[in-house]
Amino acid sequence: MKLRWILSLLVLFVMGQLMAQETAPQNWFNLDPNQDGVQGMSTEKAYQELLKGKSGETVVVAVLDSGVDYDHEDLKDIMWINKGEIPGNGIDDDKNGYIDDIHGWNFLGGKDGENLVHENLEVTRLYVKYKAKYEGKDVSKLSRKEKAEYNTYKEYEKVIADKQEELASNAMLYSGTFEAFKALGNAIGKDYDEITEQDVAKFKSDDAMLMQVANAVTGILAQGESFGAIVRELKEISEHFNNQVEYHYNPEFDARHIVGDDVTNPNDRYYGNNNVEGPDARHGTHVAGIIGAIRNNNIGMSGVANNIRIMSVRTVPDGDERDKDVANAIRYAVDNGASVINMSFGKGASPYKQAVDEAVRYAAKHDVLLVHGSGNDNAEIFTDDNFPNDKYKKRGLFGPKYADNWIEVGANSWKNDASITAEFSNYSSTYVDVFAPGVEIYSTTPDNHYENLQGTSMASPMVAGLAGLLRSYFPDLTAKQTKDIIMQSVTPHQGKVNKPGTEETVNFKELSVTGGVVNTYKAVELAMKTKGKKKGGKNAGSAKGKTGKMTPGKDKV
């Protein structure tokens, strides 16, 4: 049985490698649909034609994520520096409540320097909460409100039991496959990255399982993939499922004591430490590079925006982020000068949504734009199953109220056909505003590395970078104007597109509000014609479409 599992996975790998042969240029997301034939954002064209010789103000973009490698060769010179702090003196010099917050803050750390790595999913945390409240209770004596909570408790109990069973099988499957590949590599006796198709084809052993694995893997290597890359991918998948079993859906796991805060009190704001990289900054570093990795320095890759300073606010563990941390991270970013906040995370429940809503209102009051990835479940999203979101929990006098400083982002591929929509992307004709590049995105990863990753986590910083660019060159634009310009300047797709996760084709307008992909060139053109409404701002364009004088570069951080 185990061997059949392994060989089935090998077949999937072969299919994956065949599909991967059709790839786009490494920097496709910055390229132009007409000139370059890929569904990028026309960023390079905007710099070459519209912004050439122009300069802008420095803009701070906060990355609420897993952490950022602030020493990365393509990021270290654009990291936000808190000039009110003296590094390493253990004193809160600027008296903002956070000691030595030089590049941002870590809401997932303890005062002793230890860092929280793994967390439960929100469904698991709520199950634990309800279990403590209702286990053993006489249901007939519960109030109507309590019975509703009790039913939710039993629903979550089943979800967790089913997930534990499913995930245990997957963890065993992928762990077994990973170990089989390692065993084959060790038997061949070479470094994994040096093992060739010929090495595997010549391999002989009395071990029947090793021989069957060797015969199957030969086909994969024939497609051009390296043995070492496959082993690393299997290791990552294996760890993913093991983490879900051990941490995400494990009611017995709770590591919040590391942080030492009161998790039930959203107003408890001054906790954490200044380690903004954290133990695993791969995701956050990749996001940061997309936004603003130094352009045209002949190193690595070019981000969407120049004139950017990246503020790292560590908010997202391996598992679901907590509402309290999200709310405090938004407030921290706003208070310390961010103009744009990127949020490449999400979950299915929000027990303290009111605290997040208050932080979103706080950002709106201070003219800060929030950019959020819609998620990777290839599903239609709603405001009751995808958090955080722009719908306030507290209704207005005439119905629901929404944040106008929020933009929700789906992911597209580089292809100008029905498969323009990323197969994993969430969508909604009401709640997803725009699509942006999110497939095979090459960007920065820790220790001066670069890597292709994909997801709406990559699409969101595309838009955050574009927002930062607009607010740099057109500093009189408000957050709402910036959002409106981005939405009004999309490149619409003519013809039907794939509905993610299905074989159905639909109009792009059925998947997002705008039915298009963000376009830097068109956004800059529109910004040049827009009179900014920001108080105290200098007009960088004109209503008649003439290019006004750009504001000289000025570092305010």
The domain limits of the chain are 59-119+258-525, 123-248
For the stretch 311-339, pLDDT in tens is 999 999 999 999 999 999 999 999 999 99
Q: Chain-wide mean pLDDT for the chain? A: 91
State the DSSP H helix or E strand holding residue 507, giving kind and residue range, or none if neither: strand 505-507
Q: Tell me the CA end-to-end span of the chain in Å, nearest whole number.
A: 60
Closest CA to 251 of 159, 132, 117, 120: 120
**pLDDT more than 70, % of the chain:** 92
Closest CA to 519 of 21, 130, 169, 39: 39
pLDDT at position 15 is 44
Whether the per-residue pLDDT at 489 is higher than 70: the answer is yes
Distance CA 418, CA 416 (A): 7
For the stretch 50-84, pLDDT in tens is 999 999 999 999 999 999 999 999 999 999 999 99
Least confident of 45-59, 390-404, 474-488, 499-513: 390-404
pLDDT at position 223 is 74
pLDDT at position 24 is 84
Contact 107, 98 (CB under 8 A): no
pLDDT at position 1 is 41
For the stretch 281-294, pLDDT in tens is 999 999 999 999 99
Pairing of strands 369-373, 406-412: parallel
Closest CA to 324 of 402, 247, 264: 264
| Cα–Cα–Cα angle for 169, 171, 175, rounded to 5 degrees | 120
Helix/strand/coil for 436: strand
Distance CA 65, CA 284 (A): 5
Residue 10: pLDDT band by 50, 70, 90 thresholds? low
Closest CA to 105 of 261, 333, 356: 333
Pairing of strands 338-343, 369-373: parallel
Whether the per-residue pLDDT at 550 is higher than 60: the answer is no
Q: Which residues, in sequence order, are CB contacts of 404 under 8 Å at separation 6+?
A: 364, 480, 483
Q: What is the dihedral of CA 75, 376, 465, 534, to 10 degrees?
A: -130
Whether the per-residue pLDDT at 364 is higher than 60: the answer is yes
Helix axes 456-473 and 479-488, enclosed angle (nearest 10): 120
Residue 22: pLDDT band by 50, 70, 90 thresholds? low
Closest CA to 476 of 523, 557, 546, 531: 531
Whether the per-residue pLDDT at 537 is higher than 70: the answer is no
Burial 148-175 (b: 16+ CB within 10 A, else e): ebbebbeebeeebeebbeebeebbbbbb
For the stretch 160-219, pLDDT in tens is 999 999 999 889 988 988 998 999 999 999 999 999 999 999 999 999 889 988 988 887
Distance CA 163, CA 153 (A): 15
Whether the per-residue pLDDT at 226 is higher than 50: the answer is yes
Question: How many C-beta atoms surround the C-beta of residue 401 within 10 A?
Answer: 16
Burial 289-324 (b: 16+ CB within 10 A, else e): bbbbbbbeeeebbbbbbbbbbbbbbbbbbbbbbbbb
Question: How many C-beta atoms surround the C-beta of residue 552 within 10 A?
Answer: 9
Least confident of 95-109, 129-143, 212-226: 212-226
Instruction: Give the full edge-to-edge strand order of the sheet including 406-412.
Output: 104-106, 308-314, 59-65, 338-343, 369-373, 406-412, 434-437, 516-517, 491-492
Q: Which two tokens stand for residue 351?
A: 């027990």
pLDDT at position 538 is 45
Burial 445-474 (b: 16+ CB within 10 A, else e): bbeeebeebbbbbbbbbbbbbbbbbbbbbb
**pLDDT more than 90, % of the chain:** 82
**Mean local confidence (pLDDT), 350-361:** 98
The CATH class of the 59-119+258-525 domain is alpha beta
Closest CA to 174 of 230, 224, 119: 230
Q: Which two tokens stand for residue 554?
A: 């000025």
**DSSP character at residue 31:** S
Higher pLDDT, 416 or 93: 93
Q: Phi/psi zone of residue 292: left (φ > 0), alpha (ψ -120 to 50 degrees), beta?
A: alpha
